[in-house]
Structure 1
Amino acid sequence: MNKVDEEIVEGILKRDLNSFNKFIECYGIMIHNVVTSILNKSHESQSIEECVDDILMCIWRNMDCFSKERGSLKCWIIVISKNKALDYKKKLKKIMNSVDIDNVKLNSLVDIEQDYLKEENRKSIIELLNNLSIKDKEIFIKRYMNDWSIEKISKDMGLTSIAVYNRLSRGRKKLKKVLSVGKEG
Structure 2
Amino acid sequence: MKVNEQNVISQLKKRNPKALDYIVDQYGGLIYSIVSKTLLEFKGSGRVEECINDVLLAIWDNIYKFNKTNSFKSWIAAISKYKAIDYRRRLIRELHNEDLMTLDNPSEIGKEDLTSNPVLEKETRAELIQLLSNLNQEDQEIFIRRYFEEESTGEIAAHVGMNRAAVNNRLSRGRKKLKSIVFGEVNK
TM-score, normalised to structure 2's length?
0.50
> How far, CA to CA, are the matches of 1:98 and 1:51 in structure 2?
21
Q: Give the structure 2 partner of residue 87 of structure 1.
A: 86
Matched with 1:13 is: 13
Aligned residues: 102
**Paired AA for residue 38 in structure 2:** I
Paired AA for residue 35 in structure 2: V
CA shift, 1:18, in A, is 1.4
Q: Secondary structure at the match of 1:5?
A: coil
Change (3 A) 1:42 1:22: closer
Cα distance in 2 for residues equivalent to 1:26 and 1:58? 17
Q: Does 1:103 align with 2:107?
A: no
> Matched residues in 2 for 1:13 and 1:78: separation?
19
C-alpha RMSD of the superposition: 2.4
8 Å Cα contact 1:55/1:81 also seen in 2: yes
Identify, as 1 or 2, the structure richer in helix: 1
Q: State the percentage of identical aligned residues.
A: 32
CA contact (8 A) 1:35 1:48 kept: yes
- 2:36–2:43 Cα contact (<8 Å) kept: no
Q: What displacement does 1:40 show?
A: 0.3
CA contact under 8 A between 1:44 and 1:92: conserved in structure 2?
A: no
Q: Which has the larger radius of gyration?
A: 1
**How much does 1:52 deviate?**
0.1
Establish whether residue 23 from structure 1 lines up as the match of residue 40 from structure 2. no
- How far apart are the structure 2 equivalents of 1:56 and 1:24? 8
Gaps of 5+ in 2: 104-188
Higher relative contact order (Cα pairs below 8 Å, separated by 6+ residues): 2
Confirm or deny: 8 A CA contact 1:38 1:86 kept in the other structure. Answer: yes
Counterpart of 2:65 in structure 1 is: 65
Deviation readout 1:63-115 (Å, 9 max, x if unpaired): 0110111x10000001000000000000010011011xx22599xxxxxxxxx
Cα distance change of structure 1 residues 45 and 54 upon mapping to structure 2, 3 Å threshold: same
- Verify the 8 A CA contact 2:42 2:48 in the aligned structure 1: no
Write out the 4+ residue segments of structure 1 that deviate beyond 4 Å after TM superposition.
Answer: 42-45
Q: CA deviation at 1:17?
A: 1.1
Offset of 1:44 from its aligned partner? 7.4
Call closer, same or farther: CA 1:42–1:84 in 2, change over 3 Å. closer
